[in-house]
Amino acid sequence: MSGQPVALITGAARRIGAAIAETLHTEGYRVVVHCRRSRQHADALAARLNALRDQSAHVVGGDLLEFEQPERLVQQTLHAFGRLDLLVNNASSFYPTAVGNTTREQWNELVGSNFAAPYFLVQAALPALRDARGVIINLLDIHAERPMPGHAVYSAAKAGLHMLTRALAKELAPDVRVNGVAPGAILWPESGSSDADRKKIIAETPMGRTGTPEDIANAVLFLVNSSFITGQIIAVDGGRSL
């Protein structure tokens, strides 16, 4: 296959996803920026990247919970750039669910975005990734192994993705490598995070501070470039999971 490699990053319009897209673009990737609701941010990011290197970024929108969306997203990527070398499953829903009051809608959204959508995206992308001898990076969470109080469904969904990462690494080798990055405190949630919660989390972090989106993007890049690493999950959490 010829040409610059192509990365599809879900949930890439803002925050960590955007940092991953920018880092990969700097390293020579053409990037497909997926968004659900943040189309304005996604378009602005793509415009900025295309100004640096013409026709190097493309935006695709869609709700990954819709049955046909994973296949459609991969087809749009191949139509735009003709290949797919890297899938970064970053899109995620996050909010508390009290046991006893969790709705089916909340269950479907949290499990769907954090576990089911990555699986079906992998399934849709697999032929192209095999052709490219490509890479899959799943964005996990340290709470896949250390459940967060009040977030049972979210924690369980990320735990499922944790095991899926390892299972796929065995099943897809040697053609496709599969790894994960598990952030700790990087960016605070956009709602539902009190000053007391934040101080407690910092106090539990040996590095005594939050990380940055670029810390996550650099870990993704490391795993992409490490051709003999598969089935591994790197915690980028300032030591909080110790």
pLDDT one-digit tens code per residue, 13-41? 999 999 999 999 999 999 999 999 999 99
Mean pLDDT over 73-89 rounds to: 98
Q: What is the structure's pLDDT at 192? A: 59
pLDDT range class, residue 127, cuts 50, 70, 90: very high
Give the pLDDT confidence of 158-213 residue by residue, as tens digits: 999 999 999 999 999 999 999 999 999 988 877 656 788 889 889 989 999 999 99
Q: What does residue 136 show for φ and ψ, rounded to 5 degrees?
A: -120, 130
Taking CA atoms, 140 is separated from 89, 165, 181, 186, 207, in Å, by 9, 9, 6, 13, 20
Helices (H), 27-139: 39-52, 69-81, 104-111, 117-132
Q: How far is Cα 230 from Cα 238, in angstroms, rounded to an integer?
A: 23
Describe the crossing of helices 117-132 and 69-81 by its angle, rounded to 10 degrees: 30
Mean pLDDT over 147-153 rounds to: 93
Q: What is the structure's pLDDT at 189? A: 76
- Pull the structure tokens for residue 195: 């000053």
Give the pLDDT confidence of 83-109 residue by residue, as tens digits: 999 999 999 999 999 999 999 999 999
Instruction: Tell me the three state secondary structure of residue 31.
Output: strand
Contact call for residues 10 and 91 (beta carbons, < 8 A): yes
Mean pLDDT over 138-155 rounds to: 93
Q: CATH topology for 6-236?
A: Rossmann fold (3.40.50)
Which DSSP symbol is given to 176? S
154 is annotated as an active-site residue: yes
Q: What is the DSSP string of 6-19?
A: EEEETT-SSHHHHH
Q: Which of 29, 95, 119, 154 is catalytic?
A: 154
Tell me the domain boundaries of the chain. Answer: 6-236
